Amino acid sequence: MIAIALLLFMAASAFWLVRLRNLFAVVMLSGVYSLFAAALYLVMDAVDVAFTEAAVGAGISTVLMLSTLALTSRTEKSHNKLSVMPLLLVFITGGVLVYGTFDMPRYGDINAPIHQHVANHYIEKSAAEVGPPNIVTSILASYRGFDTLGETAVVFTAAIGVLAILGRVKGQGMSTSRVAYRRKEDVEEENKEDDKAVSDKKETTS
Amino acid sequence: MIFKAPLLRVVTKIIVPPIILFALYVQFHGDFGPGGGFQAGVIMAAAFILYGLVYGVSTARQAITADVTRVILALGVLLFGGTGIVTMLMGAEFLDYSVLGKTPLAGQHLGILLIEFGVGMTVAGAMITIFFAFAGHGKDGNIALDQENEGGGND
């Protein structure tokens, strides 16, 4: 019951998101959407996922989007032309996705494939094999250590990517000693590149 | 400075240490309750981001410099991978922590603690880096969110 109410809230905020043209409100509303998602995960007993969703989806990503907004414009360009083709495509994709859910096992079904595979092993043996009472931690850190290492590498790569594109503007990201040694021409060239990067981003956002 | 309102500044000063403490709790209590390195890293980053939002990026950069965040960012992955290498050197498979302690369970516990800490460091470093890279682009190296105050933000 609570889950259905939360899903309705999520759907409502998603529709509202599409209608809005003020990007500041859009960012705030997507944070609200994430918070509803976190509440939904909590209702479904996925505490760790809810925790992550609340921290990343509702918290950090909202702030990151806001700081991006500070660099670009705050309102979306309005275009009132109704395009039929994309609408049709969206409806077809949505219909296929909904059709796909008919084949999924019911929530909590004990015979679902997901409960027949390794889950039983984790629940029964993880206390003896790994130790921590929180099975999620055992799975993430020990049974699936490779996965987690990959994820950490992805986060690392993302940060490196952002640094490579945005990191060196106005000597912001550099220690002052190194800034002093940079040649004037280099600085000018970098500024040019950065301006280009910013304007590119503007184009993609609007 | 971005927010000159004294209320925000004082509340931020009061609330940042508990946020960092909570991040450490989530980090090291992840074995027993919900949480772990990823969430802890995000919460830790949130503390510095909040400080940066209210006091300005350059002030926050004095608290945690760009070099420090980069070292933390890289050290996390290194700690994770290094734990795997150590287990290999001790005769087990990559990331099989059982050999790290006297008993397999103690080894697993130590290994999980180490790699979760690595994850936390990298995530915190990445989030802080990304935020400051974006926020540093605004006017005077500050994020230009103060316009929101004047605009009302609800239009």
Is the pLDDT confidence value at B126 over 50? yes
What single letter denotes the amino acid at residue B98? S
Ordered by start, the domain boundaries in chain B are: 7-139
CA distance B19 to chain A (A): 12
* Touching B: A residues 11-50, CB under 8 Å: 22, 24-25, 47-48, 50
CA distance A80 to A90: 18
Residue A71 CB partners (closer than 8 Å, separation 6+): A198, A201, B134, B137, B138
Supply B62's token pair.
């004095």
The answer, for B36 touching chain A at a CB cutoff of 8 Å, is yes
Q: What confidence score (pLDDT) does residue A36 get?
A: 93
Q: What is the pLDDT of residues A84-113, one digit of tens each?
A: 888 899 999 999 999 999 888 887 788 888
What was the ipTM of the complex prediction? 0.82
Residue of B nearest to A42 (CA): B34
The span from the CA of A193 to the CA of A199, in Å, is 10
Compute the mean pLDDT over every residue in chain A, rounded to the nearest whole number.
80
Q: How many residues does chain B have?
A: 155
Task: Encode pLDDT of A130-157 as tens digits.
Answer: 888 888 888 888 888 899 999 999 999 9
Q: Is A26 exposed, middle or buried (0-12, 13-18, 19+ CB in 10 A)?
A: buried
Q: d(Cα A153, Cα B122) in Å, to the nearest integer?
A: 9
**How far is A163 from chain B, CA to nearest CA, in Å?**
7
Query: Does residue A195 have a pLDDT over 80?
Result: no
SS3 A144: coil
Q: Report how many helices (DSSP H) and strands (DSSP E) chain A contains, helices first.
A: 11, 0
Q: How far is B9 from chain A (nearest CA, A)?
A: 18
Asked which of A116-125, B1-10, B93-102 is least confident by mean pLDDT, the reply is B1-10
Q: What is the mean pLDDT of residues B127-153?
A: 60
pLDDT at A182: 47
